[in-house]
Amino acid sequence: MLQRNTSSHLYGFTDLKSLNERGPLVISYGKGIYVYDTKGNKYLDGNSGLWNQCAGFDHPGLIEVAKKQYEKFAGYHSLFGRLSEETLQLSEKIIEVSPFDQGRVFFCNSGSEANDTMVKMLWMLNARIGKPNTRKIITRINGYHGVTLGASSMTAKPYNKEFGLPSEEFIHIECPHYWKYGLENETEEEFSLRMAKNLEEKIIKEDPETIAGFVAEPVQGAGGCIPPSKSYFDLVQPILKKYNIPFIADEVICGFGRTGNLWGCETYSIKPDIIISSKCLTAGYFPMGAVIVNKEFSDKFVEVSEEAEEFPHGFTAGGHPVGCAIALKAIDVIMNEGLLENVKLMEPYFLERLNEFNDYEHIGETRGIGLMAALEMVKNKDTKEPFEGHLNMGDKVANLSIDNGLICRPLGPAIVLCPQFIITKNQIDEIFDSLHKTIKQVFN
């Protein structure tokens, strides 16, 4: 048996009390939607790695493309006007499959970097067109946009207080989660109207001239898998238009199929100006982020960059040829090997089995779309009172679930499931049968 000293690794986003008690789960390899630890135990990974491994952990085509590209051209940057042919091909492909007729793509290594890049683009553009005060970025409570400095300020979660963030140009507005924040006797439509009205009031209060962009995930992912309330985006978009505020869709989780369409924007009829992409863009086989801008924005941005001589920004490994070759293949796999269709096909059964959990005394809400879902635990179902934080109910369920062979993720009081796009009906049964067992064990 392999014994490892794991004290050399610093753990991010990990409940350290649980870790100290249980030790880490050290994974050796993956097959299909399963991973195997170093002791040979098998787990169904109900979280697709981290929402990103959507095509299986061992897709032969993706592995082959990576091998071939390493042999052909193993690495290059995309700065100073030099870039690999795969980088160029991928930018063309992304625009082709994006909601934009024309536009441009900037490559980074992660979703966080893509968000920071987007903020710098907005700031540079506005400063150059004589609007140096148009810098504020609006995001929503429970929105998750990453961990670099700008992205942390955009991520509206309390833990960023640890870093003295958000910085002052980042504004957090309400989260459109009707079940949690709806008022007594307020319908979902009335709730959405209130959210939109409050957004407009906030814009006016801050001064519309100071707002550089509104950034939203079509479905809030790492904030607890929260689909927007009914008509929310239909009501919000005209307000943004009215004040000329760009809509930036953070599609890091939703993009490339998670909600059952290629883009979350399609699912919610969002017309974005800029899209942030990552995760399934490479099916999790390479670190990559992308800022995708529409033609109107890119024309203006190229013009000001020319004026400034350059866009003084870029990452050494951005547009890496191996990553780009993998992404080209991943897009092909998702669109042409039936993965996107499978998300749509499996969605009704996935949600049907999820809904069974509404019968539990301590499950307050089940919610989901496509292949992303959450179960939110409550102490009291009538009042929606949550369990006390120190009880760590999410971690209890997630830890026991691992013991029962299913990896799922605690996000505050919610348990999140986001299986791979290749999942079968039997594997959906496996997930929910296992979760029933775990929930019963925890609450009995």
Q: Give the footprint of ligand PLP on this chain (CB under 6 A).
A: 110-112, 115, 144-146, 217, 221-222, 250, 252-253, 278
Given the complex with ligand PLP, which of 115 and 192 has the nearer CB atom?
115
Helix (H, G, I), strand (E, B) or coil at 225: coil
Looking at residue 412, its amino acid is: G
Six-digit token pair at 30? 């993956």
- How many degrees, rounded to 5, is the angle at CA 226 between CA 221 and CA 228? 120
Given the complex with ligand PLP, which of 145 and 177 has the nearer CB atom?
145
What's the distance, CA 214 to chain centroid?
16
Minimum CB separation of residue 213 from ligand PLP in Å reads 14
d(CA 220, CA 68): 36
Nearest residue by C-beta to ligand PLP? Answer: 111
Given the complex with ligand PLP, which of 65 and 225 has the nearer CB atom?
225
DSSP 371-439: TEEEEEE-SBTTTTBPPPGGG-HHHHHHHHHHHTTEE-EEETTEEEE---TT--HHHHHHHHHHHHHHH
CB 370 within 8 A of CB 340: no
Minimum CB separation of residue 145 from ligand PLP in Å reads 5
Minimum CB separation of residue 372 from ligand PLP in Å reads 11
Given the complex with ligand PLP, which of 253 and 398 has the nearer CB atom?
253
d(CA 37, CA 431): 18
Given the complex with ligand PLP, which of 103 and 289 has the nearer CB atom?
289
d(CA 338, CA 134): 44
Given the complex with ligand PLP, which of 115 and 153 has the nearer CB atom?
115
d(CA 42, CA 35): 6
Minimum CB separation of residue 251 from ligand PLP in Å reads 8
Minimum CB separation of residue 351 from ligand PLP in Å reads 21
Whether omega before 166 lies within 30 degrees of 0, making that bond cis, reads yes
Given the complex with ligand PLP, which of 222 and 422 has the nearer CB atom?
222
d(CA 429, CA 399): 20
Minimum CB separation of residue 53 from ligand PLP in Å reads 13
Minimum CB separation of residue 111 from ligand PLP in Å reads 2
Given the complex with ligand PLP, which of 249 and 363 has the nearer CB atom?
249
Q: Residue 290 contacts by C-beta under 8 Å, 6 or more apart in sequence? A: 94, 105, 106, 107, 108, 114, 276, 277, 278, 281
Given the complex with ligand PLP, which of 116 and 376 has the nearer CB atom?
116
d(CA 123, CA 131): 9
Name the DSSP letter for residue 349: H
Given the complex with ligand PLP, which of 111 and 364 has the nearer CB atom?
111
Minimum CB separation of residue 217 from ligand PLP in Å reads 5
Minimum CB separation of residue 279 from ligand PLP in Å reads 7
Minimum CB separation of residue 222 from ligand PLP in Å reads 5
Given the complex with ligand PLP, which of 113 and 430 has the nearer CB atom?
113
Give the position of tokens 């897709």.
Answer: 59
Given the complex with ligand PLP, which of 115 and 134 has the nearer CB atom?
115
CB 44 within 8 A of CB 431: yes
Question: Residue 114: which of 269, 227, 2, 282 has the closest Cα?
Answer: 282
Give the other-Cβ count within 10 Å of 294's Cβ.
21
d(CA 98, CA 95): 5
CB 224 within 8 A of CB 412: yes
Tell how strand 289-294 and strand 363-369 pair up: unpaired
Minimum CB separation of residue 147 from ligand PLP in Å reads 6
Minimum CB separation of residue 333 from ligand PLP in Å reads 20
